[in-house]
Amino acid sequence: MSHVETSSGVDVRGVRPVELVDCDVHAQATEAMLAKYLSARARRMLERYGRRTPRVTEWYPRARNAGMRVDAWPGKPGQIWGSDPETMRAQLLDEFGIDYAVLEVLSGQDCYDDPDFAAEWNSAVNDWQLDEWLGFDSRLRGTIAVPHEYPELAVAEIERRAGDERFVAVLLPASAAEPLGARKYWPIYEAATGNGRPVAFHTGGYVDHRGAGYPSFYLDYHVGNGIVMQTQLTNMVSGGMFEAVPGLRVVLTECGVAWAAALIWSLDAAWELMREDHPRLQRRPSEYIRDHVWFTTQPIEEPDDPQHLVWAIEQAGLGDRLLFATDYPHWDFDSPKQALPRALEAPLRRAILCENALELYGLPSERPV
Amino acid sequence: MTDVIDCDVHCAPESYDALFPYLSDYWRQYITEAGIRLNGVAHAYPRGVVAPAPPSYEALAEHVPDLAILNCVTGFETHRNPYFAAAVASAINDWVRDEFLARDSRLRASVVVSTISTDDAVSEIERVGEDPRFVQVLLPVRSDLPWGHKNNHAMFAAARDAGLQIGLHAWGRAGKAPTPSGFTTTYLEDYLGNQPIAQAQVLSFVSEGVFERFPDLRVVVSECGFAWLAPLLWRFDKDWKGVWREVPWVKRRPSEYVHEHFLFTTAPAHLSGDPAAIDQVLEMLDGPGILVYASDYPHDHGDGLPALMDRLSEEQRHELMSGTAAKLYRMTG
């Protein structure tokens, strides 16, 4: 069927081409919202002892609007930033004409909990996504929260959710109890790949010092999220997981993009010197990154000369690997209208804003109006 | 005119025997009874693949250009006992002075200090810092607290008073995991791990206001690369614009402090094989003025330096090979 556009971009079949996919949106649940999905035993544990996870916001207080867009507070009883679908629909989906938004619920990310509790808690996150979000608006997509420190339980959760195509990826944190390339986590990567899902690693998770000791400020901590991901990507490549799980696709989320070229050059140079130590690696590190790694854009780096960002993208070969993201409702929200520099030419802009995500997540390129 | 200043050359005592003349009876007995050995910082420089650092002037002499700065990283690994760390740091400085500096006027050195106790670091800087052959204070990039932290500022005051700069060098803190997810499992990760850790240190010096308090202080980052710097600063500036109220003593954009106060050695120069991309990196860095030459003898980081040098003008090469360092350390040949 030919595509016949009307003046509003809607064709006569009542569909419109997809133009904007947001690959990192934070629906945020309160404990009460998740507690109703827990067993009586787990709920009692939660009520009596609480989570074993100290919130990172307690020791790195977000230095701006408690880390949120100040206008994103729903002002409804029992609701917090990111918990109310109607507020998000108005402020994000409708405001910017977003065709698909991928939810990343971080409630299970920093899980130091008992295995049984961790499994229930992450399953509750997924139930809540289904009940409150994925049925609320057809533009929303979910990611499967898993108890990642207990891979066999994580695999079970992936299998449980994989039949629902609205879950487009498996969500893991950028820091865990072991480096992300550790063999411990490979069963999770195999299960995700076997079920046709990429693994999205989102900034956050286990927050230990980072080799230089604990920074004093949220400023360092937050800029440092990009630094942490460099360490993790190095570990992923070096440890051989891309050889072990050939179809694996990973999405590095909210960690920046412009550092990729420098890391790729370092990895290739070091590998040339140390190939004997990496018998599992059949190819140069840059080739694994090229085949297996995607990046979300927010918070996009902002050089004084925007052309420098274009160079950084080209140097790392990321033109078809970048996925636009807003990070709604966080304070450092990247607006679809302003975040990408004008120096990006139209085809690259289109690829970042929608085409790369459609291909990665297998989303339809048209959607009903 | 000085043609070549090598900003990072290594030397290391082969065993504690070399340091015994500079240690008290107590520490000699402590070392002997505990059977403590120097292993050439083997986890950082595995003997199977990295040549050992010269243990004597004779072994080093032919690798000294017009001027060279000696960095002895042996002290990075001296355990958790703060008293021992201070004693070893002093012994290393005395050994470097007698074995190397006294024998060749082309040599300069970094002051080795305790990386555990600021008080001891200050005392050591005061003890040897007046000797003009010591040009900077040597700190490992791996630390318990980021170096910009206020607990360390007394050390920077002592360095300033003695006319010393700061040398921040790869490695350190053996036995402490270098990543938020614990230990690395391959040497490649550990080796490259110095680069992200150095990035965290750059953030710390700026965000803690070190350069507002010590406006003449310069930090030379060795063996940690530099191609990562520009993208780091793009994000640092962006985040600072959002949360500057958290660090009100940071009065200007972070990138301005970094360009004024940091220098990076050329080893390793991990760069693209495409000369056009090297040109782009140099432009992103606002030119090569932030780089100073280092051989990092005896360590090998691949062949990035010639590719970098090919992209520089005659004048830029001179600045990188010696001009910038000569001004920094107020040295002439």
Query: For residue A210, what pLDDT is reported?
Result: 83
Residues of B in Cβ contact (< 8 Å) with A268: 270
Range in A140-144, A155-159, A270-274, B217-221 with the lowest mean pLDDT: A270-274
Q: How confident is the model at residue B78 (pLDDT cuts 50, 70, 90)?
A: low
Give phi and psi for A24, each to the nearest 5.
-155, 95
Residues of A in Cβ contact (< 8 Å) with B203: 215, 219-220, 223-224
In the A/B pair of chains, how many CB contacts fall below 8 A? 224
Region B26-38: mean pLDDT is 94
Query: For residue A2, what pLDDT is reported?
Result: 44
- Does the beta-carbon distance from A210 to B142 stay under 8 Å? no
In this structure, the dihedral spanned by the alpha carbons of residues A292, A362, A142 and A89, taken in order and rounded to 10 degrees, is 120
Percent of chain B whose pLDDT exceeds 90 = 86
Query: For residue A7, what pLDDT is reported?
Result: 53
Encode pLDDT of B86-134 as tens digits: 999 999 999 999 999 999 999 999 999 999 999 999 999 999 999 999 9
CA distance A285 to chain B (A): 11
B262-265 β-sheet, strand order: B5-10, B67-71, B107-112, B134-140, B165-169, B219-222, B262-265, B291-292
For residue A268, what is the nearest residue in chain B, using CA coordinates? B270
How many structural domains are present in chain A? Answer: 1
Query: For residue A240, what pLDDT is reported?
Result: 96
For residue A81, tell me if it sits in a domain: yes
Query: For residue B260, what pLDDT is reported?
Result: 98
Taking 50 as the threshold, does the pLDDT of residue B293 lie above it?
Answer: yes
Query: For residue A9, what pLDDT is reported?
Result: 59
Residues 6+ apart with CB under 8 A from B220: B7, B136, B165, B166, B167, B168, B262, B263, B264, B265, B292, B328
Domain holding B143, by residue range, is 5-329
For residue A147, tell me if it sits in a domain: yes
How many structural domains are present in chain B? Answer: 1
Taking 50 as the threshold, does the pLDDT of residue B333 lie above it?
Answer: no
Residues of B in Cβ contact (< 8 Å) with A234: 188-189, 192-193
Residues of A in Cβ contact (< 8 Å) with B231: 226, 256, 258-259, 262, 301, 312
- Does the beta-carbon distance from A226 to B235 stay under 8 Å? yes
The chain-wide mean pLDDT, for chain A, equals: 93
Residues of B in Cβ contact (< 8 Å) with A303: 230, 234, 284
Contact, B223 vs A199, CB < 8 A? no
CATH of the domain at B277: 3.20.20.140
Q: What's at B294, amino acid-wise?
A: A
- Does the beta-carbon distance from B200 to A312 stay under 8 Å? no
- Does the beta-carbon distance from A178 to B180 stay under 8 Å? no
Residues of B in Cβ contact (< 8 Å) with A207: 180
CA distance B138 to chain A (A): 15
User: Around Cβ B240, how many Cβ atoms within 10 Å?
Assistant: 21
Residues of B in Cβ contact (< 8 Å) with A209: 180
Percent of chain B whose pLDDT exceeds 70 = 99
- Does the beta-carbon distance from A332 to B239 stay under 8 Å? yes
Residues of B in Cβ contact (< 8 Å) with A228: 179-180, 196
For residue B292, give both structure tokens: 């100073």
For residue B201, what is the nearest residue in chain A, using CA coordinates? A212
Region B9-30: mean pLDDT is 97
Query: For residue B332, what pLDDT is reported?
Result: 60
Taking 70 as the threshold, does the pLDDT of residue A111 lie above it?
Answer: no
Encode pLDDT of A13-68 as tens digits: 889 999 999 999 999 999 999 999 999 999 999 999 988 777 788 889 988 788 89
What ipTM, to 2 d.p.? 0.96
- Does the beta-carbon distance from B49 to A274 stay under 8 Å? yes
Query: For residue A108, what pLDDT is reported?
Result: 84
Locate the DSSP E strands across A164-286: 167-175, 199-205, 250-253
d(CA A150, CA A146): 9
- Does the beta-carbon distance from B236 to A178 stay under 8 Å? no
Encode pLDDT of B136-189 as tens digits: 999 999 999 999 999 999 999 999 999 999 999 999 988 888 888 888 889 999
Query: For residue A8, what pLDDT is reported?
Result: 55
- Does the beta-carbon distance from A217 to B207 stay under 8 Å? yes
CA distance B236 to chain A (A): 6
Domain holding A55, by residue range, is 15-361
Contact, B77 vs B174, CB < 8 A? yes
Q: How confident is the model at residue B2 (pLDDT cuts 50, 70, 90)?
A: confident
- Does the beta-carbon distance from A210 to B197 stay under 8 Å? yes
For residue B139, what is the nearest residue in chain A, using CA coordinates? A212
Residues of B in Cβ contact (< 8 Å) with A239: 185-186
CA distance B285 to chain A (A): 10
Taking 70 as the threshold, does the pLDDT of residue A1 lie above it?
Answer: no
Region A187-200: mean pLDDT is 98
Q: How confident is the model at residue A120 (pLDDT cuts 50, 70, 90)?
A: very high
Encode pLDDT of A74-93 as tens digits: 999 999 999 999 999 999 99
Q: Which of B261, B318, B256, B254 is nearest to B292 (CA)?
A: B318
CATH of the domain at A179: 3.20.20.140
Touching A: B residues 65-104, CB under 8 Å: none
Question: How long is chain A?
Answer: 369
For residue B208, what is the nearest residue in chain A, using CA coordinates? A216
Region A299-310: mean pLDDT is 97
CA distance B106 to chain A (A): 31
**Long-range CB contacts (within 8 A, 24+) of A81-88:** A81/A28, A81/A329, A82/A26, A82/A27, A82/A28, A82/A328, A82/A329, A83/A27, A83/A28, A83/A29, A83/A30, A83/A33, A85/A27, A85/A132, A85/A133, A85/A136, A85/A137, A88/A25, A88/A27, A88/A328, A88/A329
- Does the beta-carbon distance from B243 to A176 stay under 8 Å? no
Query: For residue B1, what pLDDT is reported?
Result: 56
CA distance A234 to chain B (A): 6
Query: For residue B40, what pLDDT is reported?
Result: 74
Kindly state whether B272 is in contact with chain A, defined as any CB-CB distance less than 8 angstroms.
yes
User: Around Cβ A130, how many Cβ atoms within 10 Å?
Assistant: 16
For residue A225, give both structure tokens: 């999220």
Query: For residue B51, what pLDDT is reported?
Result: 85
Q: Which of A60, A333, A218 is nearest to B245 (CA)?
A: A218
Residues of B in Cβ contact (< 8 Å) with A261: 227, 272, 277
Query: For residue B39, what pLDDT is reported?
Result: 76
Query: For residue A64, what pLDDT is reported?
Result: 79
Taking 80 as the threshold, does the pLDDT of residue A278 lie above it?
Answer: yes
Query: For residue B49, what pLDDT is reported?
Result: 81
Query: For residue A189, what pLDDT is reported?
Result: 98
For residue B108, give both structure tokens: 């300069």
Query: For residue B42, what pLDDT is reported?
Result: 80
Kindly state whether B1 is in contact with chain A, defined as any CB-CB distance less than 8 angstroms.
no
